Amino acid sequence: MQITTEGQIMTKPNQPATDAMLTDIAQRHFYGLETLETRNRDALDFHDVAVWAIRHALEEAYAAGLAAATK
């Protein structure tokens, strides 16, 4: 458990569920992305991605985190 500078308790998110949600978002926004795991091959680990796709994916991840925090 961590405490923020404002004295609020921060809990660690459910990591497997978080990983699955982030992978789902990435796969919907980045064509051809199979996994977010490192595979140690440049052709598999590096992708050309449009900035607007990155923005949309980040906005969706932010919204998901915000929704989870307000539950």
Distance CA 68, CA 62 (A): 10
Domain ranges of the chain: 44-71
Q: What Å distances lie between residue 38 and 7, 8, 45, 56, 65, CA to CA?
A: 35, 33, 6, 22, 23
pLDDT for the residue 2: 52
Model pLDDT for residues 8-57, shown as the tens digit of each residue? 655 566 788 889 999 999 999 999 999 999 999 999 999 999 999 999 99
* Residue type at position 28: R
